[in-house]
Structure 1
Amino acid sequence: MKQTNAAPALQAPKRRLWKEILKHRYLYMMVLPCIVFFIIFNYIPMGGLLLAFKDYKFNKGILGSPWVGFDYFQTFFNSYQSGMLIKNTLIISGMKLFLYLPFPIILALMFNEIRNKWFKNISQSILYLPHFISWVVVVGLVQRILAPDTGLLNQFISGMGGDGSTFFMMEPDYFYQIMFGSHLWKSIGWDSIIYMAAIAGVNPDMYEAAKIDGAGKLREVWSITIPSITPTIVILFILSLGNILSAGFDQLYLLRTPGNMHLADILDTYIIQIGLQGGQYGYATAVGMMQGVIGLILVVLANKISRKVSDTALW
């Protein structure tokens, strides 16, 4: 009797699940292209991670190539370049993660205080536009502006009576400023959108109560707006930790010059060099896999710590 009663009890939740799916079928149909996209371009390619443990042979394919175990990982950490590559990657990604973090938040707060809709729309459009410009164009603009003698900056320095022949792109002392400045200009407007959406969700009654209590604009921002969007900030920070060892290939590869190469060479550029240019597909896959595994570990740890400290987490 127990076995006959167990089957209908197990089928009931399944029937309810399918009823919910049928009820919201149009919403699921809207999500379907996104799911298919991630399956095709993110999950299926994961099978290629086998290359990290195999000596890939074109005539044998991935499955037929001989196993090499963890040899590629040992080779990378024994390489004289590994320390420099990891250091450069951590410095650049750290600047983009920690130093860059307040800028889109501040911009969103500034946009939130603009009352003139015409000026607000124009300002947002101008600051969103760089996001849609490729890094090839952005770095081309940077090179034109910083070019020796003919560049805009050098011409300004010459006009002020200084030496206008500095080759900024070749000077390692200016690399981090150029890298961070171009990243800030390209990304700040677009990254502020999600913070603006979080600010729009703050209860207006809280601001009214603060005004009655005599709070000024800065006090409202500090005591109401920032605490209200803190969960959003924490979630985005946790997600960003997954890319701590991926400092951005496009920008850094284009900014590399013989003068700053010892600072601009990162794991992403190294993977392209040894993989596509050098033909060492297994070795490149191993280095890329290491990036992903470390990023996953950091996301899990940060999520766990955030849940204990602030009750805000991804899961």
Structure 2
Amino acid sequence: MQPVTSSVSSSVKPKSKLWKSISTHRYLYMMLLPCVIFFLIFSYIPLGGLLMAFKDYKFNAGILGSPWVGLKYFEAFFNSYEAKQLIRNTLIISGIKLFLYLPFPIILALMFNEIRSKWFKNFSQSILYLPHFLSWVVVMGLTQRILAPDTGLLNEIIAKLGGDGSTFYMMEANYFYQVMFSSFVWKSIGWDSIIYMAAIAGVSPDLYEAAKIDGASKLREIWHITLPSIAPTVVILFILSLGSILSAGFDQIYMLRTPGNMHLADILDTYIIKVGLQQGQYGYATAVGMMQGIIGFILVILANRISRKVSDTSLW
């Protein structure tokens, strides 16, 4: 009978410790509760709607009552003439935002770290953080005003300098990527630099003092101390960003779409809205969206595994 008693007592102790820990930190759990409820309602419960990707959804039957169609919608998408162009455009725009944009917030964080005037540092940070809180509708409205033909600020400056001030930048495909990237950097760079600034603040001052004693310049301190110290943070954020490699950002691209650049601005996000909400093909749109999530999930797992083997830095 002794082994039974010991097994029962061993199973009770972890439970009692768990409830004791929850009771001790109950206020922290209460603060966490709204976040848990938010993700439960808006992220986990809607996952049940993914069933529509495998069903011929009908309003009168509902999701569960609609007939199964298997992988019909996935096959239809990859067999469509639009699939190749949509995937190519999405990967190009996502690649620009992921790879070309990556150094910008890091450089900005390094610049903020070198500012010694406290009031100027706070002022410049506030100015650069502000665009993050503007919606893409506002940002694109400002962009259209600046780039408008004849009356736009840029065209007026070019005309004053003796150039052609009637270029319609928003309509010409040659300027699509430049306008997209510059507006994305302006809106995101300030806010995205915060986490890098936090990582830089965690670097030990003793390392900089030792470098100064050895006669290292400021650039050498940044290259040999700051950047290696924040490298794990950069890797983690890069891995997380890979999850949205097939989501190039609906709001911005939808506002940028014009008849002149449509062949470059049509991406999977805009396509899902078009076939789902405008054409009522809910199952087909769900299948395309599900494909985005699955590919992003696979890329995050692969990148995390490679990073763990190469640099010992990973999400788990």
Q: Does the pair score TM above 0.5?
A: yes
TM-score (norm 1): 0.99
1:277 match: 278
Aligned-pair CA distance for 1:3: 2.8
2:300 match: 299
For 1:29 and 1:237, how far apart are their aligned partners in 2? 31
Residue 246 (1) aligns with residue 247 (2): yes
2:231 match: 230
Matches within 5 A, 1:28-107: 28-107=29-108
For 2:97 and 2:12, how far apart are their aligned partners in 1? 50
C-alpha RMSD of the superposition? 0.6
For 1:309 and 1:17, how far apart are their aligned partners in 2? 36
For 1:15 and 1:301, how far apart are their aligned partners in 2? 38
Aligned-pair CA distance for 1:301: 0.6
2:148 match: 147
For 1:207 and 1:160, how far apart are their aligned partners in 2? 47
Aligned-pair CA distance for 1:19: 1.1
TM-score (norm 2): 0.99
2:206 match: 205
Residue 188 (1) aligns with residue 213 (2): no
Deviations 1:182-233 (A, max 9, x none): 0000000000000000000110011001100111100000000001001110
For 2:220 and 2:156, how far apart are their aligned partners in 1? 44
For 1:303 and 1:36, how far apart are their aligned partners in 2? 28
**Letter of the aligned partner of 1:182 in structure 2?**
S
For 2:8 and 2:303, how far apart are their aligned partners in 1? 42
**Letter of the aligned partner of 1:18 in structure 2?**
W
**Letter of the aligned partner of 1:5 in structure 2?**
S
Residue 259 (1) aligns with residue 260 (2): yes
Deviations 1:78-127 (A, max 9, x none): 00000000000000000000000000000000000000001000000000
**Letter of the aligned partner of 1:148 in structure 2?**
P
Q: 3-state SS of the aligned residue for 1:169? A: coil
For 2:21 and 2:212, how far apart are their aligned partners in 1? 45
Structure 2 residues not aligned, in runs of 5+: none
2:112 match: 111
Q: Identity percentage over the alignment?
A: 78
For 2:200 and 2:19, how far apart are their aligned partners in 1? 37
- Compare 19-28 and 107-116 and name the one that shifted more: 19-28
Q: 3-state SS of the aligned residue for 1:243? A: coil
Aligned-pair CA distance for 1:13: 1.2
Deviations 1:277-300 (A, max 9, x none): 010000000000000000000001
**Letter of the aligned partner of 1:306 in structure 2?**
S
1:289 match: 290
- Structure 1 moving runs of 4+ over 2 Å: 1-5
Aligned-pair CA distance for 1:4: 3.2
**Letter of the aligned partner of 2:92 in structure 1?**
I
1:22 match: 23
Structure 1 residues not aligned, in runs of 5+: none
1:120 match: 121
Q: 3-state SS of the aligned residue for 1:80? A: coil
Q: 3-state SS of the aligned residue for 2:170? A: helix
**Letter of the aligned partner of 1:64 in structure 2?**
G
**Letter of the aligned partner of 2:130 in structure 1?**
L
For 1:31 and 1:303, how far apart are their aligned partners in 2? 27
For 1:247 and 1:311, how far apart are their aligned partners in 2? 29
1:168 match: 169
Aligned length in residues: 315
For 2:23 and 2:224, how far apart are their aligned partners in 1? 45
1:132 match: 133
**Letter of the aligned partner of 2:212 in structure 1?**
K
**Letter of the aligned partner of 1:71 in structure 2?**
K
